[in-house]
Amino acid sequence: DDDDEDDDDEDQKEEEDDDDEDDEAMESWLGAELHDLRGPIWQAVPSLRSREIGRNSHQFVRHVCGARGLVQRLELQGRLERHTGCVNTLHFNPSGTRLASGSDDLRVVIWDWAIRRAELEFDSGHKSNVFQAKFLPHSGDSTLAMCARDGQIRVAELSATQRCKNTKRVGQHKGAAHKLALEPDSPCLFLSAGEDAVVLGIDLRLARPSNKLVVVKEGDKKVGLYTIYVNPAKTHQFAVGGRDQYVRIYDQRKINENENNGVLKKFCPSHLVSSESKTNITCLVYSHDGTELLASYNDEDIYLFDTNHSDGADYSRRYKGHRNNATVKGVNFYGPHSEFVVSGSDCGHIYLWDKDSARIVQFMEGDKGGVVNCLEPHPHLPGMATSGLDHDIKLWAPTAETPTGLKGLKEVMKKNKRERDEDSMRHGDQYDTQLLWFLMRHMRNRRPARARREGADTDTEESWSSPDSSDEEEGGPDHVQCMSS
């Protein structure tokens, strides 16, 4: 018996030693990228008092939304349930009163999120997974731009009576189109990026709205695209990312593909420039004032770049702890002055980092299906909407009585890093393998929905697509009448 107790004590000591080594390794891995966390800027009582007596009332909401104390009190408020497939896109209208969502079920839903009610549901007209649906600015919430795995770029016309009048195809990629980029001041102009390496400019005022702006290349090789974003301060500039390690910035006024492939600036973490691994950028986004760019790399980390730096500059901040492997993961800024960085993870959690210190300040379970892909902060209020492989949309608000204790964070981060290290040692393109597995699963799930649609679509209007677009099997119906649910 004494021998058994001694063995148990030795095993326990070995486990504790292993845990200590893991903790030391984790601290070493994180340490080089961490900076001091600034003290709290917003103080609730003085701020409330100032608002009540009329001082700085216009700044009150802005300070509240960017307060770390409220970020640390975010908790689940409710769910929006209507879709029958994974929810791939979320977008608030400019006033923040409505939320658009799109799904693998090929449907788009417009929500009055505050009362948890679907105002409108309609058939997107797409033939495959809806990847984005966005309200065009200054359109009175009457125009919604969409893109999907079928490569189509479509526009839905919405009526004031909560109806979708129709959807029209306005552009076509020769591969999947993952992202749209809105021009902040225009109800007619937006951009799209596709896996065919093409950036399309869409102008809804033209008879043929679609115009090829650039084919993204590295040398002579095309680079398929997953993400695009317009600089909010310099709307003639846009950034793209995709199937290599480079963030590329273009200027629409002077794209010359014979000179540096038309690129204005190119950024990449220095250790990835000559990397043998097939690193991809799954999402990028500009900060509120366009001075910073955030890029999320698959099975790597999230990096912050200063857009004022010269071509080829290294990153300024690095955010660690999550895992981005299984799907095309999103990333975003949170706060009116881009004070925080928010991302989903393959582990099903939502991470929020303080932007300047790169320290995790919030950690929440976001998706039982295992992957959080989409994160949409509210434009004017503290809170956000998220979605992933689950079929619902989750709403978050800072209503917890006490700040988060980050319970379980260390264990989840260790697991994420261990799995990432194991995958990096395997041969082959793990990213494409995992993505293919997920897509096959989703396609199986939506076969019944697609079967119901077969034969129901009618081609009632000539498509709006550029002459060099592909109108073959990539496309779907050009003009679809929509019925509200």
Assigned domain for 108 exists: yes
The reported pLDDT for the residue numbered 8 is 63
Whether residue 303 is predicted with pLDDT greater than 90 in this model: the reply is: yes
CA 256 to chain centre: 29
Assigned domain for 11 exists: no
Domain count of the chain?
Answer: 2
- Over residues 374-379, mean pLDDT: 95
The reported pLDDT for the residue numbered 468 is 41
Identify whether residues 67 and 151 lie together within a single domain.
no
Assigned domain for 392 exists: yes
Q: Which two tokens stand for residue 320?
A: 């660690």
Q: CB pairs under 8 A, 24+ apart, for 116-119?
A: 116/78, 116/79, 116/80, 118/80, 118/82, 118/485, 119/162
User: Is the dihedral angle over the CA atoms 254, 297, 386, 371 positive or is it negative?
Assistant: positive
Assigned domain for 23 exists: no
Identify whether residues 67 and 119 lie together within a single domain.
no
Whole-angstrom distance, CA of residue 243 vs CA of residue 282 = 8
Show Cβ contacts of residue 332 under 8 Å, excluding neighbours closer than 6 positions.
285, 294, 341, 342, 343, 375, 376, 377
Whether residue 354 is predicted with pLDDT greater than 70 in this model: the reply is: yes
pLDDT bin (cut points 50, 70, 90) of residue 42 is low
Whole-angstrom distance, CA of residue 146 vs CA of residue 192 = 9
Whether residue 407 is predicted with pLDDT greater than 60 in this model: the reply is: yes
Assigned domain for 17 exists: no
CATH number, position 399: 2.130.10.10
Whether residue 326 is predicted with pLDDT greater than 80 in this model: the reply is: no
134, containing H or E segment:
strand 130-135
Whole-angstrom distance, CA of residue 362 vs CA of residue 366 = 12
Identify whether residues 50 and 197 lie together within a single domain.
no
**Checking DSSP bridges between strand 107-112 and strand 265-267, what pairing results, if any?**
unpaired
Which residue, 150, 108, 114, is CA-closest to 129? 150
Please, what is the Cα angle at 390 between 70 and 439, to 5 degrees? 125
Other beta carbons within 10 Å of 72: 18
Identify whether residues 54 and 149 lie together within a single domain.
no
The reported pLDDT for the residue numbered 436 is 58
Identify whether residues 285 and 320 lie together within a single domain.
yes
What are residue 8's phi and psi, to 5 degrees?
A: -60, -40
Whole-angstrom distance, CA of residue 154 vs CA of residue 167 = 6
**Checking DSSP bridges between strand 189-194 and strand 198-203, what pairing results, if any?**
antiparallel
Q: What is the mean pLDDT of the chain?
A: 85
The reported pLDDT for the residue numbered 10 is 65
Under DSSP, the state recorded for 389 is S
The reported pLDDT for the residue numbered 194 is 98
Q: Whole domain around residue 50: which residue ranges? A: 40-71
The reported pLDDT for the residue numbered 135 is 97
Whole-angstrom distance, CA of residue 219 vs CA of residue 161 = 51
Whether residue 460 is predicted with pLDDT greater than 60 in this model: the reply is: no
Identify whether residues 302 and 433 lie together within a single domain.
yes
Identify whether residues 48 and 165 lie together within a single domain.
no
Whether residue 323 is predicted with pLDDT greater than 50 in this model: the reply is: yes
Which of 43-57, 255-269, 336-350, 358-372 is least confident? 43-57
- Greater confidence (371 vs 201) lies with 201
Other beta carbons within 10 Å of 241: 28
pLDDT tens digits, 420-447: 888 877 744 544 555 555 555 555 555 5
Whole-angstrom distance, CA of residue 112 vs CA of residue 120 = 9
Identify whether residues 56 and 159 lie together within a single domain.
no
Assigned domain for 208 exists: yes
What are residue 57's phi and psi, to 5 degrees?
A: -65, -30
pLDDT bin (cut points 50, 70, 90) of residue 209 is very high
The reported pLDDT for the residue numbered 446 is 54
Which of 131-135, 256-260, 284-288, 446-450 is least confident? 446-450
Which of 46-55, 103-112, 181-190 is least confident? 46-55
The reported pLDDT for the residue numbered 37 is 86
Identify whether residues 342 and 415 lie together within a single domain.
yes
The reported pLDDT for the residue numbered 64 is 80
365, containing H or E segment:
strand 360-365
Assigned domain for 317 exists: yes
Identify whether residues 142 and 208 lie together within a single domain.
yes
The reported pLDDT for the residue numbered 59 is 72
- Over residues 84-103, mean pLDDT: 96
Identify whether residues 154 and 49 lie together within a single domain.
no
Assigned domain for 26 exists: no
Greatest CA separation found in the chain? Answer: 88
- Over residues 58-66, mean pLDDT: 75
